[in-house]
Amino acid sequence: MQTRPLGPGAPSVSAVGFGGMPLSIRGRPDDEGTALRVIHAGLDAGMTLVDTANVYCLDDTDIGHNERLVAKALRTWGGRSDAVVVATKGGITRPKGEWGLDGRPASLKRACEQSLVALGVDCIALYQYHRPDERVPFAESVGALADLRREGKIRWVGLSNVSVAQIREAAAIVPIVTVQNRLSPFFREALETGVVTHCAKEGIGFLAYSPVGGGRLNQKLPSIGALAPIAAAHATSPHAMVLAWVLAQGPTVIVIPGARTEAHATDAARAADLVLTRAELDAITAAAFSTA
């Protein structure tokens, strides 16, 4: 599988990583065995990056569900799990199943301690500030991650759902290794606002989340006319086409699609080695991807 540098000072990882969210939120598989097999399918296909978060769970009584699942998948996998980078996040809450924000330094530090336990590690490889909390000065939240890094509790610092100005502000406090924002043909704001270009310039890994459009919109891909002939030409799925298009948007882009079936995880992994022609990429860029 094609690899790309995760970011400054970090190793290269598979260009297609595993997005853990759908295995732990509403609609997740009923049994743990299925979820573990899906993660194993991704790892078997060569994925060496797994993205999780403390809040990939049903509600505040279930915090850490996805982190515990990922940890168990790595423990029970037959391959070299020490070569897999696990990225988690803090800064979001799940009161009664809703989504909230808490970027206060003490809360981030508490969340990180819980993630260390859930993942069963002494040091988290990549810890990402999940989404800026406007009630807390951004520099104070980032400062908490800098403290955690100094204390050896996290190795690399990442940001998520941020602007170029916020990346610059954070980089003055602590080295920023990755930025995780939404990017798919449905949602191109990371291209339009210059975040992808900025990451490429700085060598920061850009982790494209919801790269096939997320749980609802990805289901529209088979009916998007422009994708069908290109997928047929490469004997692959429209989802893999779209992942290849996202990967082509920048040299530091890494995609982290979610999956709840082994077949989808394996299919997504294949996208890393697809090379689309300029004309094919342009056709996807020009196609209509309605979010309705």
Residues designated catalytic: 56
Report, in Å, the least distance between residue 93 CB and ligand NAP. 13
- Taking each helix axis from N to C terminus, what angle separates 32-44 and 65-76, rounded to the nearest 10 degrees? 60
State which of residues 48, 141, 160, 166 lies at the interface with ligand NAP (CB under 6 A).
160
Choices 142-150, 151-159, 203-211, 246-254; region in contact with ligand NAP by CB under 6 A: 203-211
* 90, 158, 214, 250: which one binds ligand NAP (CB under 6 A): 214
Distance CA(42)–CA(266), nearest Å, equals 6
- In this structure, the number of other CB atoms found within 10 A of the CB of residue 140 comes to 14
Q: Which is nearer to ligand NAP, 174 or 183 (CB)?
A: 183
Site string for ligand NAP, 107-146 (x = CB under 6 A): -----------------------xx---------------
267 binds ligand NAP (CB under 6 A): yes
Q: Supply the minimum distance, in Å, between the C-beta of residue 263 and ligand NAP.
A: 7
CB of 216 to ligand NAP, least distance (A): 9
Q: Which is nearer to ligand NAP, 209 or 245 (CB)?
A: 209
Strand-strand pairing, 100-101 and 205-209: unpaired
Contact 57, 26 (CB under 8 A): no
All residues at 6 or more sequence positions from 141 whose CB lies less than 8 Å from its CB, including other chains = 91, 103, 104, 105, 108, 129, 132, 133
Q: Do 258 and 19 contact (CB within 8 A), yes or no?
A: yes
3-state secondary structure of 171: helix
Interaction between residue 260 and ligand NAP (CB under 6 A): yes
